[in-house]
Structure 1
Amino acid sequence: MLAFLLPASLAQAIENFLVKDIRVEGLQRIAPGTVFNYLPIKVGDSLSELNARAAIAALFKTGFFQDVRLERSGNVLIVHVTERPSVDSIKISGTKEIDEKTLLSSLKELGLAEGLVFNSSLLDKTEQELKRQYFSRGRYAVNIKTTVTPLERNRVGIHIDVAEGEVTKIHGITIVGNRIFKDSELLKTFSLSTSTLFSFYTKNDQYSKQQLAADLESLRNFYQNQGYLDFTIDSTQVSITPDKQDIYVTVNLTEGRKYTVTDVKLGGKLIFPEMELRKLISVKTGDVFSRQEITDSSKRINDRFGNDGYAFANVNAVPEINRENGTVAFTFFIDPGQRVYVRRVNFSGNLSTNDEVLRREMRQMEGAWFSTSKVQRSRVRLQRLGFFEDVNIETPPVTGSPDQVDINVSVKERLVNNFMFGVGYSDADGALINASMNFKNFLGTGKEVALSADNSSVNRHINLSYIDPYYTADGISRSISLYSTRTDTSAADTAAYIANTDGLGVGFGMPISEDHSLNFGLAYEKIDLFVPVTGSKVASDFVAENGAVSNVFKTTFGWARDTLDSPIFPNSGTQQRASAEVTLPGGDLEYFRLSYSASAYFPLTKSFTYKLKASLDYGDGYGDTLTLPFYKYFYAGGSNSVRGYRSRSLGPTDIGGPDPTLTIGGDRRVLVNTELLFPFPGMADNKAMRLSAFVDGGMVYGTGQDIDLGEMRYAAGAAFNWFSPIGPLSISYALPLNDQTGDRTESVQFTLGQSFR
């Protein structure tokens, strides 16, 4: 029996022979077929020194074996192997900053996971990968120790002990070479900084190589937007103290001189009139050079071409620099490429939503010329459906057809259809029991069917509703509702009365444009009022004059303009709404209510959004009804109007009633709100929750009162909003800023199952 080994000193002894059989020895877990599959020698082949070396190398290359030997027994080739052990378990201890599941996932990508073949060469890579993850979080003092324990049946257990250490903080950032701008002004362009009061939240004092690169680019943009075309960052030094507690960053730069634009020209294939394209260029002769203005101008030109089918247009602003005079001229060279049209619009990820629901929201049509603005508008409309957590659109070219592209729309659905029985809470109604079947996307059709019953100490409400957003093909919607409500205000700390309302209504919505819509509705209501002996004087007087039972037909009119980018947590856009509720003449009661609200969202950074909102409400009687019915009054105070004050606690009181301190509401209301919105710490990508710092203001005014803005109440605080699996949840903490004697304040307010404000 002769052994064939890889070293050349033994390989010289190999004699050629014809392989009539192959036998594999030493296998424990690996099937013989796996060896035969990788072995380049087959029965009937002639074994030589060359293919023996190739066979051994091929089996080693699989990574399955620690040792491979070839032996000959007559004309039988015997393959002796020693398998590498398999990984039985991987345990990680000492991790707090990064959860174990995330670390195990990253190790699996390296090839180290339970059940896989153990390769000791991966241990160093494992430690380096773990250190990389901790370094990215500012923990440069991390220490990792790996222990491998042999187990029975050729297995090993791996234990990784992590000592995370303290977070390394930035102790200083030094800028060298700046003469025009002060250090303090330049450091404002950095996200990284030394420790500040809010560093525990922003973590801006934790060094990150990626963030430093982004900050250096921000610094370059700052200089080049001020005209310093030749600005350069010469070098960057990052040093860490021996105890790995502090980091020092030094940036060396050369400012160069300021440049002025002497000429702006257009070149290439223009296609559109030159004057039209020039209007898209904001850079003018005599302006100080600005990189941002050049970039924005190029984008506007590119979008103009994209809107007419030139999906792959390229706009390149080429400078002609005169360093002696400090001037620069730009030529915007345009390569429109080939005009393309859309072959197909494809959808993916809509597991429960019909393609038709998505397709009718698309403004980019199949067979039409590609349009950048229509694609962007399509994405916004899909987001505003409320059915999806995320919407992404890609526009790949069609292989072999340079004049065609596909629109690939991928969505991630959120749970919108639900059966629910639970307990909710609002500061207005207290604890409430809710049972509902709510199909916001009924059978994937986009139609809404809902049956709900809410019961609290203040309100009992039963509602059956149906909404078809596309009652007609051109987007006119129709809604039908049947409802019954009982309100007992004695439990709401307001003047007491009981109102029972039963109604049936139908409504229609009509889109005027992409952002504007109108709605119209008609409803019948029967109202039955009861005022106890100890109840509201305002309510008693109204019942005495108008009776306890009323039958009315009322119409509703509405107008809306909505450019918000999301229906739940917007970051940009505006929303305006105007509505009117008017009873038809000849009914038991004749009144009207008018409302207007406007809100705007301004993205400040990728994470922070500023919000402004104001609303005005007014109501009155007409004909034989002298005043607005008291049960239609407006209220202020509470989580949906002015936080920091108890629900419905602001405004006129029930003068002459059993308790003249209880509020009764009013026929006019003014509300204002401003908020700074930002993500929950450590969860910047979570689109289901958000924090805010706010200031609320508002007041209600009664019949005969002047609207005195000096009487408005204000409060400031912070709020947490979460679109939880059981419904919208909101918690706020507010402190009144100008409360007066007799005002009822409430710092902490909580709602569950109520829409966000």
Structure 2
Amino acid sequence: MNQQISRFRLRSVAAVLTSALAATAAWAIEPFTVRDIRIEGLQRVEPGTVFASIPLRVGETYTDDRGSAAIRALFDLGLFKDVRIDVNGNVVVVIVEERPTIADVDFVGAKEFDKEALKKALREVGLTDGRPFDKALADRAEQELKRQYISRSLYNAEVVTTVTPIERNRVNLTFTVTEGAPARIRDIRIVGANAFSESTLLGLFDQDTGGWLSWYTKSNQYSRTKLNADLETLKQYYITRGYMEFRVDSTQVAISPNRQDLSITVNIHEGPKYVVSGVRLDGNYLGRDDEFKSLITIKPGEAYNGEQVTETTKAFNDYFASFGYAFARVQAKPEIDRENNRVALVLQADPSRRVYVRRINVSGNNKTRDEVIRREFRQFEASWYDGDRIKLSRERVDRLGYFTEVNVDTQEVPGSPDQVDLTYNVVEKPTGSLQLGAGFSSSDKISLNFGITQENVFGSGNYLGLNVNTSKYYRTISLTTTDPYFTQDGISRTISVFHQTTRPYYSTDGDYSLVAEGGSIRFGVPFSEVDTVFFGAGIERYKFKPGDVPDYSLLALVNPALATYYRDLYGKSIPQAYLNYFQCGFQYGAGGYATSLDCNRDSVWGVPLTIGWARDDRDSALVPTKGRVQRANLEFGVGGDFSYGKTSYQFQQYIPLSKQYTLALNAELGYAKAFGGKDYPIFKNFYAGGLGSIRGFEQNSLGPRDTVTTAALGGTKKAVFNIELSTPFPGAGNDRTLRLYTFLDAGNVFADRRDGQTDEQWKAQQRIRASFGLGISWISPLGPLRIAYAVPIRQQKEVPDPNNPLVPLVPADRTQRVQFQIGTAF
């Protein structure tokens, strides 16, 4: 026989490939030189992909081993459901059957998880449009989705995967979910607790059996992650109180037959309570033993406190790192005296080797430019590793406000034991906001407001803000831009321009208005890592428009007395302080009736110069629990019609009383004075009252009042004090986004005694106002919302004027029991 035709066929699947190859050994053929290679069965896969994958070329010798290797290589691509090789003479024929391609992935009935987030997760593992369908991958995705539902306490959740073939060897993949109702925690038991009551220990848990707000907090929905966190909290509670051998022996979670209720039992071993008998150092402390001893927070004679031990070892590691020892090891080894329940701690240190930073990488900044992050670094490349500078760099990047997470990873450089690379991993968050609003009132009719801000314009780190308000009584447009690195040294520059028209305070019939316009520039100079000093200058112009005097000449022909009364009433509708400052008076025409109200200076302008200082070391800007804020500002009016000085100072202190309770203190002081014999500009006065100041009184209503219109005029002195206790909201557990707070406010705004004031009026102006009350704070999707119910406990009652019953000698304070606000902490 001149030519022997042999057919060699191998069928295989990944799990039994080796067995299949062994079974075909009986059909082995003699090696031959490949004259040609053909591929059959391709639909979407490019032939070049197959040729590049198989270890066989034309002109090479074909063997059984090479055939087996070619089949394995093609299966490894994951593109084919079946592969076989036929040999026809000297021609190798590769026959493939492609896997179907996924045309669409959809989720039906999934409400607990965002559908787009689920699709994104499948896309990352290869289950997405246009990719080959892998049944094993789909099965794993189904099981993982079930596990995710169990982690959300949805034990009755069912997931069914449906594969629907369609034309052109494609399939639609559908995950149909029946979620069911979540399982609720029916009871939690702690077995083995003797030193503390079970109710005290359960109060530490974020998970509980639920309350009337469980629909919001979901605290009664079991989560293994939350339970582990609660157990860690329980452990910390014990080891900070001397129980250093405390342990959790076991945790049982029992589910009811209907899979709707859960019972959790935690078995603990408390152990004896130990007192620290002493602390000593052991190991290499770089000859700085006294410096390290000063970092010890462990207190002999007191109960063992695990937090103090952790703080001490961390402080030691950080101090070693400040000298370049990135891999220093510090261990606190206890020497236990069980007979007397005492423990001596030995702090053993091994500084290891000193290293320097070879390279610093930034990861995760898809929008923010590298330079915006790198300019915050205080640790530099090719410098000795400095733990303090690395920590400070992370904090400075975090304080930018552009990221939800900032983490630092340290990697050793292979082959270079004295080098490390740092990677700052960031997770970006949206930094822009768009605000659109509309309001309706009988006075304003329809008013619109619009605001757009971007804290990180085009990833440059610059701030841009535009605000517009069309209210009849407060029309404004302002534009502000900030470049935080106007210079390479970190000096910031802020430019603002504004134009606003207001009808301030409490006008009645008068149609007066105050138009303010101007601009300013301010520079912020960092004098240290935590202190910034601001310098600024601006130019401002204020124009007073008293409005038109109504024509009462026709009325005067009929009733001269009534015309005079209405003319005087118009004049009295404008606060006398405005008339005095702008030197306004009536012009009279024929018959002795006013025809206009003219002002000698209908507008004033000046140049305010400002200098300020700020320091903020709170642990959070939205929900602070500890830390301090201090702000001081000094403003001088120079040039033009201004000659004044104005200073203010604010101090806030947050004191954590426990995990659940926070005490906050606030004080604001202000003082202003005119210079050079000029009048102090009334529009620069301080104001008080309302949320953010003294609750229970109308916004900006406290202080000196106009004797006729009773309009609040503000004052040149201000003192406001607040005490606030933040507590868990009933039924919300330890959720910090929804809190209840009680408060006590006191203070007022003061001014110099005016000519003509009676003793009673002067005393009323100087009295301190105070209030107390209850409020709710909620970090809502719209921003921080605060509602307060306040009861004034020290307020001014109305004092009638015996000579004029229509106008009180001293008007009563304007109170407001319920107040609502988005924003400030006090």
TM-score by length of 2: 0.76
Is residue 2 of structure 1 aligned with residue 7 of structure 2?
yes
CA gap 1:391/1:12 in 2 versus in 1, 3 angstroms: closer
Residue type matched to 2:346 in 1?
Answer: T
**Aligned mates of 1:582, 1:9 — CA distance in 2:** 96
CA deviations 1:349-372 (Å, max 9, x no partner) are 667777665555433344543322
In the TM superposition, residue 604 of structure 1 has moved relative to its aligned partner by 8.7
Aligned to 1:319: 334
In the TM superposition, residue 173 of structure 1 has moved relative to its aligned partner by 1.6
Aligned to 1:581: 635
Q: Give the alignment of 1:527-542 within 5 angstroms.
A: 527-531=542-546, 533=571, 534-542=573-581
Is residue 663 of structure 1 aligned with residue 712 of structure 2?
yes
Aligned to 1:701: 749
Q: 1:648 aligns with which of 692, 695, 700?
A: 700
**Aligned mates of 1:218, 1:436 — CA distance in 2:** 43
Q: Which is further off, 703-712 or 690-699?
A: 690-699
In the TM superposition, residue 93 of structure 1 has moved relative to its aligned partner by 0.8
In the TM superposition, residue 101 of structure 1 has moved relative to its aligned partner by 1.9
CA gap 1:755/1:65 in 2 versus in 1, 3 angstroms: same
- The secondary structure found in structure 2 opposite 1:280 is coil
Residue type matched to 2:670 in 1?
Answer: D
**Aligned mates of 1:453, 1:195 — CA distance in 2:** 45
Question: 8 Å contact 2:738–2:776 — kept in the other structure?
Answer: no
Q: Which is further off, 610-619 or 434-443?
A: 434-443
- The secondary structure found in structure 2 opposite 1:72 is strand
In the TM superposition, residue 522 of structure 1 has moved relative to its aligned partner by 5.1
Q: Give the alignment of 1:609-624 within 5 angstroms.
A: 612-621=665-674, 624=677
Is residue 630 of structure 1 aligned with residue 694 of structure 2?
no
Q: 2:350 aligns with which of 325, 330, 335?
A: 335
Q: Which is further off, 367-376 or 301-310?
A: 367-376
- The secondary structure found in structure 2 opposite 1:186 is helix
Q: Give the alignment of 1:234-633 within 5 angstroms.
A: 234-346=249-361, 358-385=373-400, 391-409=406-424, 456-460=471-475, 485-489=500-504, 497-501=512-516, 509-521=524-536, 525-531=540-546, 533=571, 534-544=573-583, 548=601, 549-550=603-604, 552=606, 554-564=608-618, 573-583=627-637, 590-601=643-654, 612-621=665-674, 624=677, 628-633=680-685
In the TM superposition, residue 709 of structure 1 has moved relative to its aligned partner by 3.8
CA deviations 1:500-556 (Å, max 9, x no partner) are 445566655544433234444555555443445331133234444996354555543
Q: 1:86 aligns with which of 101, 114, 127?
A: 101
- The secondary structure found in structure 2 opposite 1:489 is coil
Residue type matched to 1:224 in 2?
Answer: I
Question: 8 Å contact 1:395–1:406 — kept in the other structure?
Answer: yes
- The secondary structure found in structure 1 opposite 2:51 is helix
Aligned to 2:199: 184
Question: 8 Å contact 1:651–1:699 — kept in the other structure?
Answer: no
CA gap 1:336/1:66 in 2 versus in 1, 3 angstroms: same
Is residue 12 of structure 1 aligned with residue 5 of structure 2?
no
Question: 8 Å contact 2:772–2:791 — kept in the other structure?
Answer: yes
Long gaps (5+) in structure 2: 1-5, 11-19, 548-570, 585-598, 752-761, 796-811
**Aligned mates of 1:133, 1:736 — CA distance in 2:** 45
In the TM superposition, residue 460 of structure 1 has moved relative to its aligned partner by 4.9
Question: 8 Å contact 2:663–2:723 — kept in the other structure?
Answer: no
Is residue 119 of structure 1 aligned with residue 141 of structure 2?
no
Residue type matched to 1:15 in 2?
Answer: I
Aligned to 2:233: 218
CA deviations 1:143-184 (Å, max 9, x no partner) are 122222232332222322111011111112222223333222
In the TM superposition, residue 243 of structure 1 has moved relative to its aligned partner by 0.6
Is residue 672 of structure 1 aligned with residue 712 of structure 2?
no
**Aligned mates of 1:350, 1:147 — CA distance in 2:** 38
Question: 8 Å contact 1:469–1:476 — kept in the other structure?
Answer: yes
Aligned to 1:66: 81
- The secondary structure found in structure 2 opposite 1:558 is strand
CA gap 1:380/1:175 in 2 versus in 1, 3 angstroms: closer
CA gap 1:357/1:67 in 2 versus in 1, 3 angstroms: closer
Larger Rg over CA atoms: 2
CA gap 1:180/1:350 in 2 versus in 1, 3 angstroms: closer
**Aligned mates of 1:649, 1:473 — CA distance in 2:** 45
In the TM superposition, residue 415 of structure 1 has moved relative to its aligned partner by 7.1
- The secondary structure found in structure 2 opposite 1:220 is helix
Question: 8 Å contact 1:731–1:748 — kept in the other structure?
Answer: no
Aligned length: 739
**Aligned mates of 1:208, 1:149 — CA distance in 2:** 35
Question: 8 Å contact 2:251–2:266 — kept in the other structure?
Answer: yes
In the TM superposition, residue 95 of structure 1 has moved relative to its aligned partner by 1.0
Is residue 716 of structure 1 aligned with residue 775 of structure 2?
yes
**Aligned mates of 1:486, 1:263 — CA distance in 2:** 70
CA deviations 1:692-724 (Å, max 9, x no partner) are 6556746643434565444447663445566x8
Residue type matched to 1:716 in 2?
Answer: G
- The secondary structure found in structure 2 opposite 1:316 is strand
In the TM superposition, residue 131 of structure 1 has moved relative to its aligned partner by 0.5
Question: 8 Å contact 1:645–1:747 — kept in the other structure?
Answer: no
Aligned to 1:197: 212
**Aligned mates of 2:264, 2:134 — CA distance in 1:** 39
Question: 8 Å contact 2:622–2:784 — kept in the other structure?
Answer: no
Taking only aligned residues, the RMSD between alpha carbons, in angstroms, comes to 4.5
**Aligned mates of 1:677, 1:182 — CA distance in 2:** 21
CA deviations 1:641-693 (Å, max 9, x no partner) are 45776543444432223xx3x433334442637485999x99x99xxx97665
Q: Which is further off, 317-326 or 431-440?
A: 431-440
**Aligned mates of 2:371, 2:440 — CA distance in 1:** 38
Question: 8 Å contact 2:748–2:767 — kept in the other structure?
Answer: no
CA gap 1:314/1:455 in 2 versus in 1, 3 angstroms: same
Q: 1:148 aligns with which of 143, 146, 163?
A: 163
Aligned to 2:15: none
Q: Which is further off, 32-41 or 739-748?
A: 739-748
Question: 8 Å contact 2:773–2:788 — kept in the other structure?
Answer: no
Residue type matched to 2:352 in 1?
Answer: G
CA deviations 1:614-633 (Å, max 9, x no partner) are 3233334466357x543222
Question: 8 Å contact 1:611–1:677 — kept in the other structure?
Answer: no
TM-score by length of 1: 0.82
CA gap 1:232/1:423 in 2 versus in 1, 3 angstroms: closer
Aligned to 1:159: 174
Aligned to 1:735: 789
In the TM superposition, residue 125 of structure 1 has moved relative to its aligned partner by 1.8
CA gap 1:67/1:241 in 2 versus in 1, 3 angstroms: same
In the TM superposition, residue 138 of structure 1 has moved relative to its aligned partner by 1.0
CA deviations 1:6-31 (Å, max 9, x no partner) are 47665414332424333333333333
- The secondary structure found in structure 2 opposite 1:218 is helix
Residue type matched to 1:536 in 2?
Answer: P
**Share of identical aligned residues, percent?**
37
Question: 8 Å contact 1:478–1:506 — kept in the other structure?
Answer: yes
- The secondary structure found in structure 1 opposite 2:298 is coil
